[in-house]
Copies of this chain bind each other. A is one copy, B any other.
Amino acid sequence: MTTIPAPRVVDVELDQAWTYLSDIQHGGRLLELVAGVALRGSRHPHPLATTAHFLAAPALGGAEVHVEPLRAGRSASTVHARLVQNGRAMLDTVITAGQLGPAGVPAHLAGHPPHLPPLERCVRSVMPAGQPRNGLLEQLDLRVDPATVGVASDVPEVAGWLRYADGRDVDPLALLCLADALPPVTFALGLPGWVPTLELTVHVRALPAPGWLRTVQRAQLMQDGWLDETSEIWDSEDRLVAQGHQLAAFRG
């Protein structure tokens, strides 16, 4: 006997604000959208641990988010949400959410914000003239460390300054998108091909302070066409506010 209730279905519209190439939605932004629908009205509004598997690229236009609450606990709740278009699952995500307050003193912290050149010596990422637009680079002001892209490096690492282009504050939901905002680490190696994400997990660890964020993305192992990418986002008060882990495909 199964008492799990039928999912709640919410209509959404996929527009061009964050698309690239032939109207492909940015994966992290899609996750932010679906998670936002899933957590609407929840007493645990902050996505502490969000896991997402990317199944297919949805088309522009209408789609549905199917929301299934799985657990409502005292300090955390878990919800399953699926983006569906024309009856087909496009993105499947599970979110364990909680309520973040002002962050306390870490009991332990390893690492530090990426060492970046000053803002004015970093390069705002834009698409080259004649290339198709990339909505992400319109929505975000991403200033990549020139030492990490554009030069053929042997270190799969990219890093940069990051904020919304209109200067608005970043909330915890937005970190789901921003944890996937940097170009793939393969670009640092001079590999120009597409790097589709199969799976992305984001841990949101603190409420981000206003101001510029710093972000870095690294790969540990690239082998047999698969690579992992770990991203970190640090806020203007040197707090680690988000950690991303993904598995993606690449061509060597």
Q: Report which A residues bind B (CB closer than 8 A).
A: 1-4, 48-49, 51, 53, 55-56, 64, 66, 70-71, 75-76, 78, 80, 84, 86-89, 92, 94, 96, 100-101, 103-111, 156, 189, 198-199, 201, 203, 205-206, 218-228, 240, 243, 245, 247, 249, 252
- The answer to whether A223 and B51 touch across the interface, beta carbons within 8 angstroms, is no
Between A56, A218, A247, the greatest number of chain B beta carbons within 10 A of the residue's beta carbon is seen for A247
Contact pick for A203, options B48, B92, B247, CB 8 Å? B247
CB distance from A34 to the nearest CB of B (A): 14
Please measure, in the bound complex, the distance between the C-alpha atom of A130 and the C-alpha atom of B240, giving whole angstroms.
42
Q: Tell me the number of copies of this protein.
A: 2
- In the assembled complex, which residues on chain B have CB atoms less than 8 Å from the CB atom of A2? 64, 66, 84, 87
- The answer to whether A240 and B224 touch across the interface, beta carbons within 8 angstroms, is no
Known A49-B199, A221-B106, A223-B109: A56·B84 in contact at CB below 8 Å: no
- The answer to whether B111 and A220 touch across the interface, beta carbons within 8 angstroms, is yes
- The answer to whether A94 and B51 touch across the interface, beta carbons within 8 angstroms, is yes
Sample of 13 further A-B pairs with CB below 8 A, known A49-B199, A51-B199, A53-B94: A2-B66, A4-B87, A48-B226, A49-B198, A51-B201, A53-B96, A55-B71, A94-B199, A107-B252, A108-B219, A108-B221, A110-B221, A201-B201
Closest to A9 in B: B2
Closest to A157 in B: B110
- The answer to whether B218 and A205 touch across the interface, beta carbons within 8 angstroms, is no
